[in-house]
Amino acid sequence: MLAHGVTKSLQPVSALCIKRMTNGIQYESGVFGSYSLMDLMPKTLEGQITMEKTPSYFVTREAPARISAMSRETKLIVVVRDPVTRAISDYTQTLSKKPDIPSFESLTFKNRTTGLIDTSWSAIQIGIYAKHLDNWLQYFPMDQILFVSGERLISDPAGELGRVQDFLGLKRIITDKHFYFNQTKGFPCLKKAEGSSKPHCLGKTKGRTHPNINPEVVQRLRDFYRPFNMKFYQMTGHNFGWD
Ligand SMILES: Nc1ncnc2c1ncn2[C@@H]1O[C@H](COP(=O)(O)OS(=O)(=O)O)[C@@H](OP(=O)(O)O)[C@H]1O
């Protein structure tokens, strides 16, 4: 979005504080003192948009009330992907940091014999999008929330970013022309990085190879998520095509 020249990111230190503030709107620490979310936001001039990115907000129970208290006009953008793939991606990320964790299959079930899924495992819990959205809708109307399809972000990045630009009231200046498909990476990349003439792909931690998961376990997870996905499609008025 920096291509627009009207967007502004938080400074790293502020972003760090805000990230940690998910545990308390009045984040307190001996070093930083006590801040409200607004105090940490950089000043925004007319024509600028301040953006803050913290994936865990969507699943943090206290976040909607706190963000609404800061500004009820805040626009919210959430990237969602098939919750089964999301759970495997989440596991892959943890595995890359802690190679000794138990298998995906054993973490998925509370009881493998009965097929009871462990919904307290965060990799599973996060994908119950309808439940998290319910919490946000207590504070924000649906038209202030944009759900971006993680799948379409890969198959048609310009189209999906078109929706983001429309939602933010920006001119559609990011188009197909900005992207190319990088065969080595297996993902779309930018033809030119910001402030450079060189192509730019996302880093090694984005687009990792996932481990093979037992197809029966994948099927059980598909069955588990189906009703929640249906509810989510109904709430958002958008079929994400995960079933
Ligand atoms: N263009 C492009 N290049 C690389 N990766 C892409 C791209 N578009 C979407 N993706 C998908 O983004 C997934 C990683 O994003 P995350 O949600 O984990 O990012 S974040 O750290 O939470 O910000 C990552 O998930 P994994 O495939 O599981 O690694 C990708 O599938």
Residue in 66, 64, 84 with CA at minimum distance from that of residue 133 = 64
Cα distance between residue 36 and residue 26, in whole Å: 5
Tell me the CA distances in angstroms from 152 to 171, 187, 223, one per residue in order. Answer: 20, 12, 23
Ligand 1 atom with the shortest distance to the CA of 188 = 1
Task: Calculate how far, in angstroms, residue 107's C-alpha sits from the geometric centre of ligand 1.
Answer: 22
Which residues of the chain have a pLDDT value below 70?
1-38
Give the atom of ligand 1 at the shortest distance from the alpha carbon of 92: 28
What distance in angstroms lies between residue 95's CA and the mean position of ligand 1's atoms? 16
Domain spans of the chain?
1-48, 54-236
Q: pLDDT for 140-156, tens place per residue?
A: 999 999 999 999 999 99
pLDDT at 42: 73
Residue nearest to atom 18 of ligand 1 (CA): 206
- SS3 state of residue 50: strand
Q: How many CB atoms lie within 10 A of CB 178?
A: 16
Q: What is the spatial distance between Cα 18 and Cα 2, in angstroms, rounded to a whole number?
A: 21
CA-closest candidate to residue 33, choices 20, 50, 48: 20
Ligand 1 closest atom vs CA 189:
1
Residue 74 CA to residue 58 CA, distance in Å, equals: 14
For residue 110, which phi and psi values (nearest 5 degrees)? -80, -40
Q: Whose CA is nearest to atom 9 of ligand 1?
A: 154
pLDDT at position 46, please? 83
What is the Cα–Cα distance from 13 to 27, expressed in whole angstroms? 13
Ligand 1 centroid–CA 33 distance in Å is: 34
φ and ψ of 199, to 5 deg: -65, 155
User: How far, in whole angstroms, is CA 235 from its chain's centroid?
Assistant: 18
CA of 151 to the centre of ligand 1 (A): 10
Containing 8, the helix (H) or strand (E) segment is: strand 7-9
CATH number of 54-236: 3.40.50.300
| Ligand 1, residues at Cβ distance < 6 Å | 55, 89, 92, 153-154, 187-188, 202, 206-208
Closest residue by CA, ligand 1 atom 23: 55
